[in-house]
Amino acid sequence: MVAIRLQDIRKSYGPVEVIKGVSFEAEQGEFVVFVGPSGCGKSTILRMIAGLEKPDSGEIYFGDDRYTDVPPGKREIGMVFQSYALYPHMSVADNMTVSLRLAGVPKTDRRKRAVEVARMLKLDELLDRKPAELSGGQRQRVAIGRAIVRDPKAFLFDEPLSNLDAALRVETRLEISRLHQQINTTMIYVTHDQTEAMTMADRIVLLDAGQVVQQGTPLELYRNPANLFVATFLGSPKMNVLDVAAVSRDGTTAQLTMAGASHVSVTLPSPETADPKSIGVRPEDTRIVPEGEGVLSGTIISAEHLGSEVLVHTETAAGQIIAKMPPDFSAHAGDTVWVGFNVARAHLFDADGLTINNHARQ
Amino acid sequence: MVAIRLQDIRKSYGPVEVIKGVSFEAEQGEFVVFVGPSGCGKSTILRMIAGLEKPDSGEIYFGDDRYTDVPPGKREIGMVFQSYALYPHMSVADNMTVSLRLAGVPKTDRRKRAVEVARMLKLDELLDRKPAELSGGQRQRVAIGRAIVRDPKAFLFDEPLSNLDAALRVETRLEISRLHQQINTTMIYVTHDQTEAMTMADRIVLLDAGQVVQQGTPLELYRNPANLFVATFLGSPKMNVLDVAAVSRDGTTAQLTMAGASHVSVTLPSPETADPKSIGVRPEDTRIVPEGEGVLSGTIISAEHLGSEVLVHTETAAGQIIAKMPPDFSAHAGDTVWVGFNVARAHLFDADGLTINNHARQ
Amino acid sequence: MLRDWRFWFFLPTLLALGIVVLFPTGYLLWMSLAHWIITEPGVYFDGLANFRTLFRSASFYDSARVTALYLFFSTVIMMVFAMLMALALQHSRSGILRSAIVLPLVIPPVVAGFTWRFLLNGEIGFLGAWLFPMVGLDVNMLSNPSGALVSVIIADVWSRTPFMFLIFLAALQGIPRDYYEAVRLDGATAVQEFFTVTLPLMRSAVAVALLFRVVDAINTFELIYVMTKGGPGRATQTLSLLGWKTAFQNYDLGGAAALGVVMLVVTTISAGIMFARFMRKA
Amino acid sequence: QTEINVVGFGAGFAWADLFGATGAEKTQKLLDFEKEHDIVVNMEFADEDVARQKVLLDLVNGTGDYDLVMLGSDGAVQTFSAAGYLEALGPYLETAPDLFDPAKVYPPFLEANTVAGELYALPYYSFGAGAVYRKDLFDKYGISEFPKTTEEMATALQTLKDGFAADGITDVYPLTMRGAPGEEPSLDLNGFVYAYAGYPAWFEGGPTTPEEIKASKAQPIFTGDFKEGFSTFVNWSREYGPPGIAGHTWVDMMNLYAQGKAAILFPSAINAFAGIPSSEVPEVKEFSAFAPSPAGPSGKVVQSFWTFSVGVSAFSKNKQEAYEVLAFLTSEDVMRDFAEVIGWPYTTYPSIMHSPTLTDKWPTEMLDQIEASFYDADPHYFPYIPELTEFMDHIGTAASSAISGAQTIDEALDELQSWATERMDRAGYYK
Amino acid sequence: MSGYAGQSIWKSLGRAAFLSVAVSFVLFPILWLALGSVKTRNGALAVPPEFIFQPDFTAYTRIFTQGFLGSFQTSLTIALTNVVLTMVLGVPAAYALTRMTGKVQENLSFWLLSVRMAPLFAVIIPLYVLFRGIGLLDTPIAVALAHLTLTLPMAIWMLVTYFRSIPIDLDQAALLDGATRLQVLWIVILPIARPMLASVGIIVFIFSWNEFLLAFILTSRDAQTVPVAVASMAGTMSFDWPLIAAVSIVSMIPALLFVGVAQRHIVSGLGAGAVK
Ligand SMILES: Nc1ncnc2c1ncn2[C@@H]1O[C@H](COP(=O)(O)OP(=O)(O)OP(=O)(O)O)[C@@H](O)[C@H]1O
Ligand SMILES: Nc1ncnc2c1ncn2[C@@H]1O[C@H](COP(=O)(O)OP(=O)(O)OP(=O)(O)O)[C@@H](O)[C@H]1O
Ligand SMILES: [Mg+2]
Ligand SMILES: [Mg+2]
């Protein structure tokens, strides 16, 4: 069942069109994550779903009903704002239970519910503080609590975890995931965080400049990006992309070459396919290998030790390449090394940046 | 040369002591990152270094000079606020060059500098907008720009990247790292982001409840956490910690056992060392292995596909355990699996949570 | 429009003010075009005669000049004084000083006028007859043309500054502290801090205070009337006093209405300019 | 029961015998009257200027809220009767002669309220010209007698000034008058003009009524005969008056005299009498004396004349009852008690003037002199045209201007001249 | 606010010096008024001024015997009515105004301002005619209504500047929580704006309490306000400075009480913490 459906939504601020015809559906109980560069219109779409902003054109459906003109309060939606939007004059407990108060729930019940939710968010000791007396992260959690409290039909989250520390972020993330499994409510979630997007989403909607670029399950997007933009946007550190030229082409098999490198052989979907113009390899499919074994030679610029792995940045004739290596890999800036690719996992792109299926894959 | 030195700094808000005697030094040109749970006092310390808050006791030195009472404007410090603090009435360009204007730099030079910095931060097209017309991420970048513009003696960053999208975050992070290498200015940086902390820091200072818990290079902290708190705070997903009991002890060698598991043998630093009470293994040192090869058996609860890897959450008799597996690992919730540890990389903790050197390591 | 909540929220104000303002304004316009001098029988339409008379009379230009001087100086002094006090007290926790400074607000301008008049009186006043001569100041403030204007301005500043002080204080306290911190870090002196952060962020409050001040000053009547009756001569006769005299001493209702219309037009136009300049996009 | 609303100036001064010293409580006498006539009398007080404003509004709008309105003799009666706001009293006097007998009142006070032969208001408090001075100071500087002419007066003032200067007295001034802008100075100033010119010298040939002005097409002239009196007033104020005189009103003049800071108060002596009883300066109480106003070069004395009168609003809904109240308010009986309460040597009834009410308090000789000043008074010492108040206002403001030095006498008079010419023209006198 | 490091003591000295001068300037005339009210008529006017004297409280007793209490009551009625009217009309209007954009908002704001532009002396007669027409002359309600022309635009303008500083996200959060616009106003905006509401209430009260011309013109016996009473006292045939001073001092009391009560709600910094 479709829970929320947007149909060719457009929105301008003054002369600038920030949403340029967005259509999408969220199934009942689905967890949809919006990602996209800063300023691409994620918050704006969320606000239109909540009813806080009117689309200039297009329609919004909840289930089968046209909701385009339904006022926000009637939409039964819980939203966590990017700016928190806590009521500064109310205690944490009151902040969280405003919707219950408006619905006429008696005080003691409200308090009980507040305590329940606060425990979940580790806010139990702060229930009687005012927002001004909280740290940034604490405020963010209160805002999440406020949305959770009212058991809404759908949740909208606008980067709800952006101010939490890593540990709490993982925890709250799992908490939200668990919440989602428990109550099976449709959730629409905006985030910048790759991990959040990849782990929480049933479906990711990738936006750029007010348009949907690609949508699908996280792994679909990660493994089969529709174009260069998606390929480089998802994944951190981002995919290494190198310009290539086809030196020979034999039906579906092409020999590619790049600056300062030996040939790479790839299989194209059909003989008609245009020659690939660039190849993309994710850092985890890139390796620093013993001399002569790799495709390219390069110089190490820096090695970032993340503890669980080492990111090796190398400068090659074809451009900068990042390789993800195990934590005990030792690298020194200035060393000359060889870079090897797992070609079976490489992505091919044509002159317009559109993906060409690499049939060597799978 | 020591650039910034805090000496037993204390600070209370009303009856609550939020900074409980913090001492630390930052070398000239060092990049120090503060991490710690939300509300532990990171921002407060930063503000005291900037002179925006007076410590209740303790001293602050810049170089050899006592700066405890020097007003903020005289400290020549660039700061990026967690709340941005952009002047709403000024354009982006003006916002960034306020310090220059205050110093009497002529308009054309100011504009030139603004354009320079804006290009670096991808703000060139927004130079004449007002902050209200920017998205959250754009605002954050303006705030960074404002600190960069004035070439200060030291930079203070309070979670400057928390509102940027992943791609821009990596980029800006590298930008800041490069900036740091270029100008070799002391930088103090507060973040929640593990990756930022691990990759940017020359030294991490880990705070908890207003106190320094441990400090050192990122790898030192990651590899040799002083206690359970540090061990679990750093690293994402966090270290698996299991309660153990020593079943036999032979001088420095101990046989440990945990609920529902076979024995594990560890080497302790000396015969006098107390028996370990818990063992910690990072997810990347944990593996899902063929039946019978592991230490513990468990049931898979969920598998988070991050694209570049899969996080497998299992429920075992000893508690929840997360294993980091390669991206093509396939796991299904409900499967019974075996979990194996790389014991050579395990961390041992005594009853107080203090680390016991595991001599099987290195 | 009828479905827009904002319409319904604004409607009562629209109606209330519409009644107490639109009718009087219309009536005023009619009056200004009428020959309506109480001492002469009959009221009749007289075109622009009232305006012609007004623009030919010396006291109009005189009063316009006095009004301009009074307006300018009292406003500038008041703004500066109020701003200084607000800045000095913005962080003060004690309500005592603040309350003390606000005290003149609870004294009606009529009383303020009497009080200052008798303080400054050159023969029996505490200041005029005792303190000033004692410190060697030999001026009779109220009977000297410029002294009288100064006196009126002092009394007005005394009486009306607290209002502006309150507006400024409220505006000051609405400025988030991060801005000060940012600019302080950038090395701003107190003065630079004021002009870089404080004033721009208070801009709309200042503009509102200024507008209301101007309207208030234009309407100041009882304070001046009680203090100097517009004198000596016409030294402190503002347009408001002139209008009052024209209507109620000279019985020329049409003439007074014409003056009222002229003032209405001038203030509305200048306020419109100010409005467009400072408050749009504020 | 009919309610009659009265508006008056100065609580505690008007009808202190009827409404008590506070102006708020009705006395038994009033209550008896109300009972007898089945009328309720409501009294409202306001400062003279502001009360006038209200009366005006009431009359202009024909509201009829006030049945009885208080009027000064500064042209209000002329103005309002011309505009048709006042009820002519002739018919009422005739139909109820027993209520009020005009013959018993000093004639000038009625004359001041008569326009074109019709009486429009009844006086309740009035006065003529005169001076109150400090005999002790006169004696001290060897002035044995109060000056009889303006020339002698000038000499006396100079003597006092020199005397004060010699004795280092800086806070006592030879003369106090009023110079605040508006009609205040006009009241005194026009008395000077009258004394210098010998007639109300505003218009060519000295006409004093609209009819006369229209007949002769007399232009206003403020340069000729008028100027002498104007200049003397201005010069004396500047030379001998207190420094703040250009802003002084009645209150200042009275306070100054009461505080012992002035040697002469003149030509509206009543103002001094208002101050004497409450003065705490012993010399003021003991040595204040009355003298007739000195005569000018024309042989006429420096004038001062005023009557507080009350008229019936043409819009009153109960004119008959209003008249009854008016007659009662101004009746001999009420005025006697009024004189008793106020205690100043002034009244509208000769019978009261010579009764113990006043003779017990004041020297008979002084009362005689004061009474003489009533008969001597010329209520028409300024022309009674409908534009009177406007003229008074401009003349007074010109005087204040000249006293303060903002303008020279010539400048002030020039401006006055051009204003007056235009104003008369606009009023249609010369069509 | 706890200070930042290195605040200069000259700055605080300068501040103290300025404040003492300012406060003396402000308080001195009031002190003089208070002294005058307990002097005798002549004592009040004496030069050199009497600093040591036998206080004489008869002026205060006369307030009660001379019927001024009525005008206090009237003033109070008028001012309170005006405050209530102003707030009831002005708060929703101001809120609506801040949530409008573009031309409509600009035009309405300007219209509000222009309402105050007409000089009072000129609108007195029309207002008089108006209230006579609807039979409200000489009633407190007429004065309170007339005062709306002064206080309502002022109140709305002051509130608008404040309401504008309340982030719209808060409205929206409340709307999502199911609040109607009135509830948004009542539950979110008003509590946050409480200090400003108190300030505006005080100022409106005082303006109404002090206003002279309109009160004077529109009332006669039944609804005379304190300033009108004071003005009518000081005038033609008697000058009673101690009484004027005493009435003035007493007239400060209700306003002060009101200010005192309302000022407790002026707690600064309440607006902090709503957003990042
Ligand atoms: N009220 C407004 N007026 C004008 N432009 C606006 C307004 N609100 C947003 N914008 C612009 O619309 C675009 C989309 O904004 P939006 O807040 O939806 O971005 P976002 O994707 O949420 O960005 P971020 O990740 O930085 O929060 C941005 O370019 C922003 O500058
Ligand atoms: N002005 C204040 N008054 C009272 N308590 C405060 C104030 N500012 C901060 N605190 C408290 O002091 C503690 C430390 O605050 P601080 O802002 O330094 O935390 P933080 O480590 O920066 O947290 P976060 O990561 O969430 O930004 C918190 O518990 C906070 O609630
Ligand atoms: Mg956003
Ligand atoms: Mg912080």
- The residue whose C-alpha atom lies closest to atom 9 belonging to ligand 2 is A135
Task: Please tell me whether residues A211 and A280 are part of one structural domain.
Answer: no
> Residue A351 maps to which CATH number?
2.40.50.140
In a domain, A362, yes or no: no
In a domain, E46, yes or no: no
What's the one-letter identity of residue B289? V
Would you give the distance in Å from CA B347 to the centre of its chain?
20
Cα D260–Cα D264–Cα D270 angle in degrees, nearest 5 = 90
Best E26, E27, E190 residue to mutate vs chain C (most C CBs within 10 Å): E26
Collect all residues of chain E within an 8 Å Cβ-Cβ radius of residue D254: 239
SS3 label, residue B108: helix
Among B199, B230, B261, where does a domain finish?
B230
Tell whether the model's pLDDT for residue B251 goes beyond 90. Answer: no
Contact C143 D406 (CB under 8 A): no
Give the residue on D whose Cα is nearest the Cα of C38: D83
Tell whether the model's pLDDT for residue E273 goes beyond 50. Answer: no
Could you write out the three-class secondary structure of chain A?
CEEEEEEEEEEEECCEEEEEEEEEEEECCCEEEEECCCCCCHHHHHHHHHCCCCCCEEEEEECCEECCCCCHHHHCEEEEECCECCCCCCCHHHHHCHHHHHCCCCHHHHHHHHHHHHHHCCCHHHCCCCHHHCCHHHHHHHHHHHHHHCCCCEEEEECCCCCCCHHHHHHHHHHHHHHHHHHCCEEEEECCCHHHHHHHCCEEEEEECCEEEEEECHHHHHHCCCEHHHHHHCCCCCCEEEECEEEEEECCEEEEECCCECCEEEECCCCCCCCCCEEEECHHHEEEECCCCCCEEEEEEEEEECCCCEEEEEEECCEEEEEEECCCCCCCCCCEEEEEECHHHCEEECCCCEEECCCCCC
SS3 label, residue B35: strand
Residue B107, number of CB atoms within 10 A of its CB: 11
Collect all residues of chain E within an 8 Å Cβ-Cβ radius of residue A74: 178
Task: Please tell me whether residues A137 and A11 are part of one structural domain.
Answer: yes
The label of the residue with tokens 């008369």 reads D424
In a domain, B267, yes or no: yes
> Which stretch of A271-285, D222-236, E110-124 has the lowest confidence by average pLDDT?
E110-124
Task: Please tell me whether residues B156 and B280 are part of one structural domain.
Answer: no
Omega before C232 within 30 of 0, i.e. cis: yes
Task: Please tell me whether residues B207 and B323 are part of one structural domain.
Answer: no
User: Rounded CA gap, C139 and B248, in Å?
Assistant: 106
Percent of chain E with pLDDT over 70: 88
Task: Please tell me whether residues B225 and B243 are part of one structural domain.
Answer: no
Give the residue on B whose Cα is nearest the Cα of C191: B102
The label of the residue with tokens 């993800």 reads A324
Pairing of strands A286-289, A278-281: unpaired
> Ligand 2: distance of its center to the CA of A74 in Å?
36
**For residues E158 and E200, is the Cβ–Cβ distance under 8 A?**
yes
**Domain definitions of chain C by residue range:** 70-237
CA separation, residue A68 to residues A6, A44, A56, A65, B62 (Å)? 9, 15, 10, 9, 59
Name the band, by pLDDT with cuts 50, 70 and 90, for residue A331: confident
Closest to B77 (Cβ–Cβ): which among C179, C185, C189? Answer: C185
- The residue whose C-alpha atom lies closest to atom 7 belonging to ligand 1 is B133
Q: What pLDDT sits at residue A1?
A: 62
How many domains does one find in chain B? 2
**Rounded to 5 degrees, what are φ and ψ at E169?**
-55, -35
User: Rounded CA gap, B99 and B115, in Å?
Assistant: 15
User: Rounded CA gap, B124 and B116, in Å?
Assistant: 8
Query: Could you tell me the two tokens for D302?
Result: 């420096």
Taking only the tens place, the pLDDT of each residue in D250-287 is: 888 888 888 888 999 988 887 778 778 778 888 888 89
Task: Please tell me whether residues A83 and A161 are part of one structural domain.
Answer: yes
Contact D244 C123 (CB under 8 A): yes
Please give the torsion angle defined by the CA atoms of residues B42, B48, B50 and B51, in that order, rounded to the nearest 10 degrees. 160
Q: What pLDDT sits at residue E264?
A: 61
Identify which of A9, A11, A12, A13 to mutate to test ligand 1's pocket (most ligand atoms within 8 A of the CB).
A13
User: Rounded CA gap, C39 and D386, in Å?
Assistant: 5
Closest to E161 (Cβ–Cβ): which among C7, C16, C204? Answer: C204
For residue E202, what are the domain limits? Answer: 64-275
Burial classification of residue E107, based on how many CB atoms lie within 10 Å of its CB (0-12 exposed, 13-18 middle, 19 or more buried) = exposed
Among A198, A230, A262, where does a domain finish?
A230
Question: Would you call C203 an interface residue with chain B, using a CB distance cutoff of 8 Å?
Answer: yes
CA-based nearest distance B50→chain E, Å:
9
Best A191, A287, A308 residue to mutate vs chain B (most B CBs within 10 Å): A308
Q: What pLDDT sits at residue E237?
A: 54
Q: What pLDDT sits at residue E270?
A: 33
User: Rounded CA gap, B98 and B85, in Å?
Assistant: 12
Taking only the tens place, the pLDDT of each residue in E225-254 is: 888 888 777 655 556 788 888 888 888 887
Pairing of strands B336-341, B296-305: antiparallel
> Residue A134 maps to which CATH number?
3.40.50.300
User: Rounded CA gap, A25 and A3, in Å?
Assistant: 7
CA-based nearest distance B326→chain E, Å:
39
**For residues E213 and D50, is the Cβ–Cβ distance under 8 A?**
no
Which partners does chain B have (≥3 C-beta pairs < 8 Å)? A, C, E
Burial classification of residue A70, based on how many CB atoms lie within 10 Å of its CB (0-12 exposed, 13-18 middle, 19 or more buried) = middle
Ligand number, closest to the Cα atom of A192: 1
Task: List ligand 2's pocket residues with C-beta within 6 A.
Answer: A 133-137; B 13, 18, 36, 38-44, 82
Contact E276 B54 (CB under 8 A): no
In a domain, B362, yes or no: no
Q: What pLDDT sits at residue E275?
A: 36
The label of the residue with tokens 């790389």 reads B342
Task: Please tell me whether residues E81 and E10 are part of one structural domain.
Answer: no
- Put the strands of the sheet holding B286-289 in their side by side order: B286-289, B336-341, B296-305, B310-316, B319-325
Task: Please tell me whether residues B214 and B257 are part of one structural domain.
Answer: no
Closest to E15 (Cβ–Cβ): which among C88, C112, C211? Answer: C88
Collect all residues of chain E within an 8 Å Cβ-Cβ radius of residue A88: 192, 270-274
Query: Could you tell me the two tokens for B301?
Result: 């609860």
**Rounded to 5 degrees, what are φ and ψ at D158?**
-65, -40
SS3 label, residue B64: coil
Question: Would you call E175 an interface residue with chain A, using a CB distance cutoff of 8 Å?
Answer: yes
CA separation, residue E81 to residues C39, D302, E76, E143, E198 (Å)? 38, 54, 8, 9, 16
Taking only the tens place, the pLDDT of each residue in C101-150 is: 888 888 888 889 988 988 888 887 888 888 888 887 777 788 888 889 99
Collect all residues of chain E within an 8 Å Cβ-Cβ radius of residue A72: 172, 175-176
> Ligand 4: distance of its center to the CA of B42 in Å?
6
Contact A308 B284 (CB under 8 A): yes
Q: What pLDDT sits at residue C41?
A: 74
Task: Please tell me whether residues A207 and A243 are part of one structural domain.
Answer: no
Task: Please tell me whether residues A213 and A294 are part of one structural domain.
Answer: no
* In chain E, beta strands by DSSP E: none
Task: Please tell me whether residues A223 and A242 are part of one structural domain.
Answer: no
Within 13 A of A306's CA, how many CA atoms are on the CB side?
20
CA-based nearest distance B175→chain E, Å:
25
Task: Please tell me whether residues A169 and A297 are part of one structural domain.
Answer: no
Average pLDDT for residues B131-154, to the nearest whole number? Answer: 83
Among B187, B211, B230, where does a domain finish?
B230
Ligand 2 nearest atom to the CA of residue B14, by list position:
4
What's the one-letter identity of residue D385? I
As a whole number of angstroms, the longest Cα–Cα distance in chain A is 77
In a domain, B361, yes or no: no
Residue, of D19 and D81, whose pLDDT is higher: D81
Residue B265, number of CB atoms within 10 A of its CB: 12
Task: Please tell me whether residues B23 and B166 are part of one structural domain.
Answer: yes
Query: Could you tell me the two tokens for E194?
Result: 């409480």
For residue A345, what are the domain limits? Answer: 237-356
Tell whether the model's pLDDT for residue C169 goes beyond 60. Answer: yes
In a domain, A87, yes or no: yes
Q: What pLDDT sits at residue B362?
A: 40
Pairing of strands D2-9, D68-71: parallel
Taking only the tens place, the pLDDT of each residue in B206-223 is: 999 999 999 999 989 998
Cα A203–Cα A209–Cα A214 angle in degrees, nearest 5 = 30
Collect all residues of chain B within an 8 Å Cβ-Cβ radius of residue C187: 73-74, 76, 99, 102-103
Contact E170 A87 (CB under 8 A): yes
Question: Would you call A153 an interface residue with chain E, using a CB distance cutoff of 8 Å?
Answer: no
Task: Please tell me whether residues E213 and E89 are part of one structural domain.
Answer: yes
Contact B283 A308 (CB under 8 A): yes
Sequence length of chain B is 362
pTM of this prediction?
0.81
Which DSSP symbol is given to C127?
I
As a whole number of angstroms, the longest Cα–Cα distance in chain C is 75
- The residue whose C-alpha atom lies closest to atom 27 belonging to ligand 1 is B136
Helix E69-98 and helix C5-17, axial crossing angle in degrees, nearest 10: 140
Question: Would you call E46 an interface residue with chain C, using a CB distance cutoff of 8 Å?
Answer: yes
In a domain, A361, yes or no: no
Percent of chain A with pLDDT over 90: 33
**CATH of range C70-237; options 1.10.3720.10, 3.30.450.20, 2.40.10.10, 3.40.50.300:** 1.10.3720.10
In a domain, B269, yes or no: yes
- The residue whose C-alpha atom lies closest to atom 18 belonging to ligand 1 is A41
Burial classification of residue B181, based on how many CB atoms lie within 10 Å of its CB (0-12 exposed, 13-18 middle, 19 or more buried) = exposed
**For residues A137 and A168, is the Cβ–Cβ distance under 8 A?**
yes
